[in-house]
Chain A
Amino acid sequence: MKRIVLFIIAVFMVLGVTVNTYAQMDQALVYEALRTVLPFEKLEMAGYLKNETSLRMAHGLDEFMKFKNEVNFQANYSIKDNVDFFTTIRWFHDGLYSLEEARYTSIDSKEKNRKLKVPEKMLWLRDCFVDIYTDRLDIRAGKQQVVWGTADGIRILDIINPLDYREWTLPNYSDIRIPLWMLNVEGELLADGHLQLLLIPDYQANYYGPAGGPFTLRTVDVGAKSISSLPPFVTTTTISERPKRNFENTKIGLRWRNVIGAGYAQGLEYTLNYYHGYDFASAAYTSVKIVPGGYFKLTRRAEGIDVFGGTFSKTITSGAFGVPELFKGWTIRGEYAFIKNGAMNYGTDANIEGTVDVDQFNYVLGFDKNFWTNWLFSFQFIQMNAKETEKFDKNQYVLLNGATRGPLGDQETTLSLKISTDFMHERVKPEVLILHTVGSERSDRDWRISPKVSFEVNDRWQIAAGAHIFEGEEQLLSGQFDKNDQVFFETKYSF
């Protein structure tokens, strides 16, 4: 009940007051201990210990949605002046499934342990790569994340790494991108013009929470319900078709990036991007025969795609259109991606009828500006367009949203606004993110509002509190979590 909340808030406040004194006494306790164990001169280390606790707002704050303890360790070993080895290890344990054992009975206990309680397989290894720097060429080989694009909080051209969707997209993308083994080479062709080549033999699909989890996508829950409602005489088979790890299936990424150094467009940065690879959101192909001795077969196939894209960003540093001071201080960003040969399901709400090839054209325009000294307003206009390239009966069926399995419009428009500032010498940092889908009467009601305040107690300790509030119908991106409004608390010790 509310005692849980009071207890957490009390712990939180006590931490805020006492850790300051404690950490001033011994700022580098953990770091010094690590230094004793790993006394290598060329080894640089950092990391953190973190607790994340969240509570569902719907039931009077008496239900935990997360009680996650996380340890993160980063190390850089300088092999030579221009050769480094870097690794990040992150491990967590979510005590939610012990605390709320009675509540999450619908999740298979094996799945709880595998996907929700602790990291599965190699997901604990976040970075593991060698860097080689030369005057004109940088090489990074190993497990890593590569981020393309200028958009915040939404993925348009950020397509190199798959995502871990267990907590939807509430954490930072850098925390939920799944690193891949790859070769990343960037060469300098002009003083501010660079060509990047990615060769990615590794493939991982997006990672989804199991049915019944707090932030499991509606498409997973609906799929699980469909299968469980099948008569017992029907055999169920799920097949994941993934590209084999061979040279032929190596994914390729190319990016040309340039900053214009002189003239009217001085400071304009643009990129041209090309990616040839596989979609991380596997397309679902089903075949079913519900008769005695019948079958239900679900094939998840990673479709080959080609992506052509680009970005630009420009800050108005003195004025626009020849008028001094006009729009001065605004940063304008843009990003687009044309995705060829993707696949989507079609059908009716929650029911898959079939799968068709689609082309997608997605873009974002962003506008950022500081007002009143240090209030940053960041606004984004995002549009996603999907057009099928194969025929299906559009009188009966519609394309389905991959995350919710709800009807997908030809064009989906989302607006986002992030406002952030700081007080007390950047000690207190409040921010709020608002995401709103527009375009139809139904989608106009789709919202997410995420306020957060973080407080830097001292150089080692940080605490934060905030909320995620969702509103909308379950077929829509935010609305699917309408019952998941939550408050959260974070405590972090860095070393």
Chain B
Amino acid sequence: MRSKFLMCLLVVCFMFSVNAFCMEFKHHEVYKITDDMGAEEIMGVSTFNKYTKFAYDYESTGYVHLIEQSGSTRQRTFLRRRIILGDKTTKIDYKDVTSFTAPTSVKGLGILSWTYMTYGQDPDQWLWIPSLKKIRKVSAAQGDDSFLGSDFTTEEVTTRKVEDETYKLLRKEKFTGYTSSFNNKTYYKGADCFVIEATPIKSPWYYSKRIVWVDKLTGGDIYEEIFDANGNKYKYIFKEYQIKNVDGRDYSVQTHLEVEDLRSNHKTVIEIKDIKFDQGLKDSDFSERILQRSKW
């Protein structure tokens, strides 16, 4: 009993120490990766970019392709809007509204999320469910749950924070390139990358480690290999980042994502289009009133 208590105490202390080592990022600032950065700082920039925290607001349309081994494909289209707050009083990091526009079976489904800066705090989420015609407060999906039926987990797309893992810089190298089976394009061949090993603090967890290639130019985690508890690679994720110049500031943003589960050979491709930044969205655009405007 006592040893268990001590173990818990150690874990809590470790979590706080991880927090303390993290570089302080200010919302609405643009950060670049430099050669002198350590693994945690590099992953800090990468995570900051992933959630577009450099911007004031963000909007995009996502086209999701769920591809079976047989080649049969199902699709989802969603509109995502985000306001980045970084509010020190409310501790709200950002608010998201995601609305599905296709296919008809999910059309109208809407999710409002409040994501918090506090480590260990789950997001608050509200769901507009067309078949019920009402808004329901829902518990955030568990981190290892599939994100919208894709090969991504919820944690990979929406909830992972820098504090969730420890990092080790393995090497710097030129990326060998990723050739997509979806569009036959080759991405990032010869790009300067930092190769980082990420180990989850939670154990046991659905993966034992990730090897992540972070592109120096965009600061994006462009490729990662994910390993199960036995140390076998079971999944890879590719992400294309592009630099968009907004009012003289270079924003690094995801535009194309691919993931394949090597056990089932099921793939997910997400194309992100019509990206807009800093349109002047307001906090009140992320309320239940807006969510229930959905009619479908």
Contacts and interface: CB of A to CB of B under 8 A. Distances in A.
A60 to B, nearest CB: 33
B118 interface: yes
A177 B283 CA distance: 33
A317 B289 contact: no
A150 B107 contact: no
Nearest to A318: B121
Given A262-B89, A262-B90, A317-B116, A368 B138 contact: yes
B145 interface: yes
Given A317-B116, A456-B105, A370 B145 contact: yes
Interface in B134-148: 134, 136-142, 144-146, 148
Interface in B111-129: 114, 116, 118, 120-126
Which of B118, B133, B142 gathers the greatest number of chain A CB atoms within 10 Å?
Answer: B133
A266 B149 contact: no
Contact of B295 (A127, A318, A492): A127
B287 A191 contact: yes
A229 interface: no
Contacts of B141: 370, 374
A174 B146 contact: no
A287 interface: no
Contacts of B296: 46, 74
B260 to A, nearest CB: 13
A153 to B, nearest CB: 10
B183 interface: no
Nearest to A138: B289
B17 interface: no
A459 B72 contact: no
B139 A267 contact: no
Which of B72, B104, B114, B116 gathers the greatest number of chain A CB atoms within 10 Å?
Answer: B104
A424 B107 CA distance: 20
Interface in A98-151: 127, 131, 133, 135, 138, 145, 147, 149-150
B265 to A, nearest CB: 12
B103 interface: yes
Contact-size category for A: 35 or more
A269 interface: yes
A479 to B, nearest CB: 26
B32 to A, nearest CB: 33
A380 to B, nearest CB: 13
A363 interface: no
A341 B16 CA distance: 58
Contacts, number: 142
A188 B289 contact: yes
Contact of A318 (B122, B146, B283, B284): B122
B75 interface: yes
Contacts of A74: 295-296
Nearest to A173: B132
A173 B283 CA distance: 32
Contact of B149 (A138, A173, A174, A422): A422
B66 interface: yes
A422 B146 CA distance: 10
Contacts of A150: 136-137
Nearest to A369: B139
Interface in A23-66: 24, 46-48
A351 interface: no
A492 B126 CA distance: 27
Given A131-B293, A147-B133, A370-B141, A194 B287 contact: yes
B103 A149 contact: no
B139 A174 contact: no
B230 interface: no
B252 to A, nearest CB: 29
A317 B115 CA distance: 10
B288 interface: yes
Interface stretch (A288-296, A323-331, A436-444, A466-474): A323-331
A422 B140 CA distance: 16
A192 B213 CA distance: 41
Interface in A297-343: 313-315, 317-318, 324-325, 328-331, 333
B163 to A, nearest CB: 13
A132 to B, nearest CB: 11
Contacts of A24: 72
Interface in B39-78: 66, 72, 74-75
A19 B167 CA distance: 48
A362 B105 CA distance: 34
B289 A329 contact: no
B74 A458 contact: yes
A41 to B, nearest CB: 16
A333 B126 CA distance: 13
A425 B139 contact: no
A473 to B, nearest CB: 31
Interface in A452-466: 456, 458-460, 462
A307 to B, nearest CB: 17
A257 interface: yes
A188 B287 contact: yes
A147 B132 contact: yes
A495 B102 CA distance: 10
Contacts of A259: 287-288
16 contacts: A47-B104, A145-B133, A172-B132, A177-B133, A188-B287, A257-B288, A269-B126, A315-B124, A315-B139, A317-B140, A370-B139, A374-B141, A374-B145, A458-B72, A459-B75, A459-B105
Given A427-B149, A460-B103, 16 more contacts: A46-B296, A86-B295, A131-B295, A172-B132, A177-B133, A192-B288, A262-B89, A266-B90, A313-B136, A313-B137, A318-B120, A325-B120, A329-B140, A370-B139, A374-B145, A425-B66
Interface of A: 20, 24, 46-48, 74, 76, 84, 86, 127, 131, 133, 135, 138, 145, 147, 149-150, 152, 172-174, 177, 186, 188, 191-192, 194, 257, 259, 261-262, 266-267, 269, 313-315, 317-318, 324-325, 328-331, 333, 368-370, 373-374, 422, 425-427, 456, 458-460, 462, 492, 494-495
Query: 8 tightest A-B contacts by CB?
Result: A426-B149, A494-B104, A313-B137, A267-B124, A459-B103, A147-B134, A318-B121, A317-B122
